[in-house]
Structure formats: structure tokens, C-alpha cells
């Protein structure tokens, strides 16, 4: 009977270790901007407004209460987008907003909070051109952040940044 308990315990411990290694080794989930909007939520299209498309009657303030997808909290993801630098120097950027289209947050109105990600990366990353799309990989959190130019619905501690390639 003791041998059975030890074997069962050992198998359970081995299973837990294997599951832990599998979760570490699993690749990040590739997501896109529409994945940051809860299913069924009607989102205001602020990109058309930023590009000065449509009539002035369509210009509205962004939905500051735009809901986030709680199921993404704590997941390892990769998300393409564009950089709006917040902190860094001429060589490296250590903090930035990841936005869905070039010029977001520079034009008024900014995208809704659930279409903005506040990103920090230890050691910083060089960004050659703000016009080029990138892919950021890291752990996403459904935590708000507020700065001078925008209110944000997601935060990410980045572990990697790469050029976006089709």
C-alpha cells in the first residue's frame, strides 16, 4: 500500500512538472485588435475620424468605458501594431503605447481604451521608424493606465519586439 501511495504521489508530481514546462514552452497566442473587444460590444470606429473621413456629425468622443476581454488577462500573446513612444532616448524606447493604426493618439480622438496597450520593456528596444508596424510579444493584463494623451485598457510587459511581416 505504501508503494502505491508513493507511485501515485510521484506520478502526480511528475504531471504537475510536465504541465508547468508545457505552459512555459507553449508559444504566445497570436491576437489582433478585434480580439481586444468583447464579443457583442458595438465599437465606435475612431480610425475613420483620425483620418478625417466621414462627416463631422460622425465625430464623437471615444468610449472611455470600452470594455476589455477579461479572459486575456495574464496570457502570453503577440499583437501587431504601431508605436507611440512615451519613455526612452534616441537609442531605445522603454515605454510606449501600442496602437492599431499609424497616427493613433496623435490625432483627436484617440482610439477607445480597449484598442490601446501600454507597453513596458526592460532594457528598452530600438524602434527604427514609427511608420513601420511591429509585433510585440509579452504578458497582457487587463489593467487600465492613464497618461496625458490617452486612457488605456490593457498593459503588457513585453519580452520581445519584432518588425511586422505579412
Instruction: Evaluate if residue 1 carries a pLDDT over 60.
Output: no
CA 126 to chain centre: 18
pTM of the model: 0.75
Which triple of cell numbers denotes residue 142?
487587463
**Which phi and psi (to 5°) does residue 161 adopt?**
-135, 130
**Which phi and psi (to 5°) does residue 17 adopt?**
-65, -45
User: 29-33, 60-64, 156-160: which has the minimum mean pLDDT?
Assistant: 60-64
What pLDDT, on a 0 to 100 scale, did the predictor assign at position 156? Answer: 98
Taking the C-alpha atoms of residue 136 and residue 143, their distance in angstroms, rounded to an integer, is 17
Which residues make Cβ contacts (< 8 Å) with residue 152, sequence separation at least 6?
97, 113, 116, 117, 118, 144, 145, 146
For 20-42, write each residue's pLDDT tens digit: 444 456 899 999 999 999 998 88
Taking the C-alpha atoms of residue 112 and residue 62, their distance in angstroms, rounded to an integer, is 5
Instruction: Evaluate if residue 164 carries a pLDDT over 90.
Output: yes
Q: In the predicted model, what is the mean pLDDT of the chain?
A: 80
Q: Which of 23, 24, 28 is nearest to 138 (CA)?
A: 28
What band does 63 get if pLDDT is binned at 50, 70 and 90? low
What pLDDT, on a 0 to 100 scale, did the predictor assign at position 51? Answer: 52
Residue bearing the bigger pLDDT, 113 or 90 = 113
Amino acid at each position: 500500500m505504501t508503494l502505491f501511495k508513493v507511485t501515485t504521489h510521484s506520478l502526480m508530481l511528475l504531471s504537475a512538472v510536465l504541465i508547468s514546462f508545457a505552459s512555459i514552452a507553449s508559444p504566445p497566442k497570436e491576437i489582433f485588435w478585434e480580439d481586444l473587444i468583447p464579443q457583442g460590444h458595438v465599437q465606435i470606429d475612431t480610425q475613420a475620424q483620425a483620418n478625417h473621413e466621414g462627416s463631422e456629425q460622425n465625430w464623437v468622443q471615444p468610449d472611455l468605458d470600452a470594455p476589455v476581454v477579461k479572459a486575456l488577462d495574464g496570457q502570453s500573446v503577440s499583437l501587431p501594431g504601431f508605436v507611440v513612444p512615451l519613455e526612452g532616448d534616441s537609442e531605445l524606447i522603454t515605454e510606449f503605447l501600442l496602437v492599431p493604426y499609424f497616427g493613433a493618439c496623435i490625432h483627436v480622438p484617440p482610439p477607445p481604451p480597449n484598442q490601446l496597450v501600454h507597453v513596458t520593456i526592460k532594457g528598452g528596444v530600438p524602434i527604427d521608424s514609427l511608420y513601420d508596424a511591429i509585433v510585440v510579444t509579452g504578458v497582457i493584463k487587463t489593467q487600465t493606465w492613464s497618461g496625458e494623451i490617452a486612457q488605456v485598457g490593457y498593459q503588457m510587459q513585453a519580452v520581445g519586439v519584432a518588425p511586422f511581416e505579412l
